Structure 1
């Protein structure tokens, strides 16, 4: 059975709700940064 990111995070942080929210917010913003970086690299090489 594949566990989701939220489940793994909850187990790692001891199901601390506020900490889970902060981690998810951080991950979302990092995903946006990666998308911008990867998008600009792909445009450069086209």
Structure 2
């Protein structure tokens, strides 16, 4: 079997959060990810 190759050309960021249940960690992480994705797309398209 051939091994699949992994494309490492795209930057990645790990986001870690600590906090109590229902204090918005998932919402915050989704917002940060969305902003970073839009910024990355904008920079790569120009």
> Under a length normalisation based on structure 1, what TM-score does the superposition of the two structures give?
0.49
Q: Which has the higher contact order (CA 8 A, sep 6+)?
A: 2
> Under a length normalisation based on structure 2, what TM-score does the superposition of the two structures give?
0.49
Structure with the bigger percentage of helix: 1
